[in-house]
Structure 1
Amino acid sequence: MVQSLKLSQPLYQQIYDIIKSSILAGELKPGEKVNVSQLAEKYNISRTPLREALRQLQIEGLLVQDHLSLNVVKLEETDFKDLYECRLMLEPQIMGLILKTVADRELEEIEKVLRHAEEAFKAGDHLQLLELNAQFHDRLLEASPNKRAVHLLQQVRSFLLLYRANILKNSEHNREILKEHRQILNALKARDGIVVAKTVENHLRNDLERGTNMIRE
């Protein structure tokens, strides 16, 4: 279904949101060619805002350019594992720093995000759940005193977005991920550094297994 464009938002932002949602929902498949002319005609817009939207999606790793065409990124097991190795190196260390700086009021706000995610799961809204799960991690990272490390981790997580979207198409995976997020939050509330490290690493290794199985199916 073609979404109508709004005058209240910049065109490139609207097209970016539409194409990104199409990729994450699986309407544009991994590896599928993106036809710029067809998109411009479909949404009746000029090439300039369209190219700006596509450039942003390339930066985020959802689109890739080869010598012939622009395509939705493919799901590759080796790439996925490399990215998760980066997360495993960075995220437990960052979470250890967060434990020393995160305020109780910040944890309360993160709890609200988690509750909204649990509601989205019950409603079967996978794209909303994907966004709220990302917010859960983003809110935690905002409390980190090491912004350089956070920037590196956010780059890694950006390249994992399509993988995460496909993982969340499995209802049981959704249930497991929410349970693990709840365990991480409880460990942070208890100010228990050992349990925080253990629950974060467990969550990442489970995600690695979930994603690897998803790619192989």
Structure 2
Amino acid sequence: MTSRDRGRGEERRRGLPIADEVYNEILSSVLFSRVQAGDRITIDAVAREYNVSQTPVREALHRLQADGIVVRHHLAGYRVAPMLTREQFEDLVELRLLLEPAAARRAAERMSVEELGELRALSAEMSTEAHRSTGEHAYARFSQLDAQFHEAVARGGGNQFVRESLTRLHTHVHLFRLAHQTSITSEAIDEHEAVIEAIASRAPDAAAFAMRQHLEASARRFRAAFDT
């Protein structure tokens, strides 16, 4: 049994909706380059491959488009979105370093107890997912949780423009396509914990510093993909 088959079985045991299963399957295929940038993804082909109706496939592709994973072309259907270039990667890192430490600083000042609880729950789920399996579906799920974690910090900071800007970047999908080694998940968990503790301690400077350290470490991990 392949990691793909194990992941599919795990999803069914969790009782995920069919559209979510299809989303996770396509996301895994993109992250692990089973489909390449520019490859066409058709509703009929996906429905046949996974033995599902076209409705959940349409739902999954609509969500994948919203997340920047696929691009819809008029009269040509869906294609896999391009990979980041080195220049785009560095520009993205620079922008994140401008926005996210500031968001973490504000989160330490403004985040509610309920929002902090959500942040801790996301971190715990990421830790569980990282230790559950080294398969493709676990990595794909980790990338989604990572995006939710950073979005939650931005939301807790209370600046809607910062939050929307980060959401539109589709940062985590583009980065997680570059590499998929264990260190990306295990080290990120520890770095997230430092951010959470600074926010929980209501220490704005420490929160901004912890987020900057995390972003710089993350950049080093993903930058290695361009050096191989």
Q: State TM-score, norm by structure 2.
A: 0.74
Partners of 2:97 and 2:105 lie apart in 1 by 13
Q: Distance in 2 between matches of 1:60 and 1:82?
A: 19
Alignment of 1:34-113 (within 5 A): 34-36=40-42, 38-39=45-46, 41-42=48-49, 53-54=60-61, 56-64=63-71, 70-113=79-122
Distance 1:54 1:201, change over 3 A: same
- The more displaced of 79-88 and 30-39 is 30-39
SS at match of 1:143: helix
Question: How far off its partner does 1:89 sit?
Answer: 1.5
Structure 1 Cα separation of the partners of residues 98 and 70 of structure 2 = 26
Q: Which amino acid aligns with 1:205?
A: E
The residue aligned with 2:202 is 191
In 1: Cα distance, 2:207 partner to 2:214 partner: 11
CA positional deviation for 1:190? 1.7
Distance in 1 between residues matched to 2:47 and 2:18, nearest whole Å:
11
Counterparts of residues 202-213 of structure 1 (less than 5 Å):
202-213=213-224
Identity percentage of aligned residues? 24
Deviation at 1:199, TM superposition (A): 1.0
Q: Deviations over 1:169-195 (max 9, x none)?
A: 211232211111011111112211111
- Which runs of no fewer than 5 residues in structure 2 stay unpaired? none
Residue 116 to residue 50, structure 1, CA distance change in 2 (3 Å): closer
Select the residue among 164, 168, 175 that pairs with 1:163. 175
1:132 matches 2:145: yes
Query: What's the secondary structure of 1:142's corresponding residue?
Result: helix
Mapped to 2, the partners of 1:51 and 1:105 lie a distance apart of 34
The one-letter code matched in structure 2 to 1:119 is T
For the 8 Å contact 2:100–2:154, the answer to whether it is kept is: no
Q: Does the aligned pair in 2 maintain the 1:61–1:73 contact within 8 Å?
A: no
Rounded Cα–Cα distance in structure 2 between residues aligned with 1:112 and 1:48 = 32
Provide structure 1 residue ranges, at least 5 long, that are not aligned to the other structure.
none
Aligned-residue Cα RMSD (Å) equals 3.3
| Contact 1:77-1:215 at 8 Å conserved across structures | yes
CA contact (8 A) 2:47 2:53 kept: yes
Aligned length: 212
Which segment drifts farther, 207-216 or 62-71? 62-71
Deviations 1:99-133 (A, max 9, x none): 22112343233222212222222223323322332
Q: In 2, are the aligned partners of 1:34 and 1:72 still within 8 Å (CA)?
A: no
Q: Which amino acid aligns with 1:116?
A: E
**How far did 1:86 drift?**
1.6
- Residue 42 (structure 2) pairs with residue 31 (structure 1): no
Secondary structure of the equivalent of 2:40? coil
